[in-house]
Amino acid sequence: MQGAVFDLDGVITDTAKYHFAAWSKLAKENLDIELPASFETELKGVSRIDSLKKILEYGNKLDQYSDDDIQELAAKKNGYYLEAIEGLSKDDILPGITELIAQLKAHNVKMSLASASKNAPAILKKLGLFDEFDAIADPAKVAHGKPAPDIFLAGAAAVDLKPSECVGVEDAVAGVQAIKDAGMVAVAVGDANELAKADKVVPTTADFSYDLFEETFEKANA
């Protein structure tokens, strides 16, 4: 294992709740659509435009909006989201992540970020983690969002590694699919049944460690 390619939301910090709050506000105030709490899982790991299309499909309104309308609405949602995360700080780093990063660095494992969020660099800065990562894959430069493997392939390439030399870290079904299709070993956090395609699933980020990643990597490549 020479690299670790991380998702952001739900893995390093829990900004998913802020995303869903922003989507819910947009849906209610601009689209007259009430989103049930259960809809949050539909948007996990999905790009901004694809998320909006899923919401419009849910409200049977997709054909009522042009591509320009969709871009405008997505930008408005991002505004709501940025307001919500204004106060993000080191206190919002998920349990075990700071220790994991230190362990990976101590073993000379390169780290990159493969998030669908265009706000990822700004979020890492708020968390005080921006300088800990060797690279951040730009979601604007990949052809397809998760579950396509593009962003994880970009994450490996950004640190000059082959996907087969990396572990991908995720919390979403779409993300795990992207990792596996990229040819990486997948470590996931969350529900073991839901994330069954991963090589290893742990219930919380506090269970992450260099040893767990290395052991999973070796086992998957045995």
Q: Where are the domains of the chain?
A: 3-13+89-221, 15-85
Q: Cis omega before residue 147 (within 30°)?
A: yes
| Average pLDDT for 120-130 | 95
Q: Which residues are annotated as a binding site for Mg(2+)?
A: 7, 9, 170-171
| Average pLDDT for 95-123 | 95
Active site residue 69: no
Q: Please write the tens of the pLDDT for every residue from 33-59.
A: 999 999 998 887 788 899 999 999 999
Q: Which residues are annotated as a binding site?
A: 7-9, 23, 43-48, 51, 77, 115-119, 146, 170-171
pLDDT value at residue 45: 72
| Average pLDDT for 116-126 | 90
Helical H segments across 5-66, by residue range: 16-31, 40-43, 48-58
What's the rounded Cα separation, in Å, for the pair 27 and 30?
A: 6
In this structure, which topology does domain 3-13+89-221 adopt according to CATH?
A: Rossmann fold (3.40.50)
Q: Which two tokens stand for residue 135?
A: 């690279």
Q: What does the DSSP assignment read for 170-212?
A: ESSHHHHHHHHHHT-EEEEES-TTTTTTSSEEESSGGG--HHH
Q: Which residues are annotated as a binding site for substrate?
A: 7-9, 23, 43-48, 51, 77, 115-119, 146
The CATH homologous superfamily of the domain defined by 15-85: Putative phosphatase; domain 2 (1.10.150.240)
Residue 211 clears pLDDT 90, i.e. is over it: yes
φ, ψ at 185 (rounded to 5°): -80, 135
pLDDT value at residue 47: 82
- pTM score, whole prediction: 0.83
